[in-house]
Amino acid sequence: MSIKKVWLDESEDECTSCGLCESIAPEVFEVPDKMVVIEGVDFSEYEDEIRDAADSCPTEVIKFEE
């Protein structure tokens, strides 16, 4: 399965703007204030990094769909 969608879900907790996701996958995530997913990215090229960022996010607000 490949990752088709990546988003910020603050329904239970908030992005703290820590920047960790951007340091793991700068091709996918930017943190100008709160995290944003960069538009037009082919997520299938960065699956390991996206999983790693989602696992590492301290507030678990990075969600993805396969």
Minimal distance, residue 54 CB to ligand SF4, in Å: 9
Give the Cβ contact number of residue 29 at 10 Å. 25
For ligand SF4, the binding residue among 3, 6, 37, 57 (CB under 6 A) is 57
The verdict on 59 binding ligand SF4 (CB under 6 A) reads yes
Task: Please report where in the chains the tokens 């100008």 appear, as a residue.
Answer: 32
Here's the x/- map for ligand SF4, 4-43, by CB under 6 A: it reads as: -----------xxxxxxx---------x---x--------
Q: How far is CA 27 from CA 12, 44, 53, in A?
A: 26, 12, 12
The verdict on 50 binding ligand SF4 (CB under 6 A) reads no
DSSP 38: P
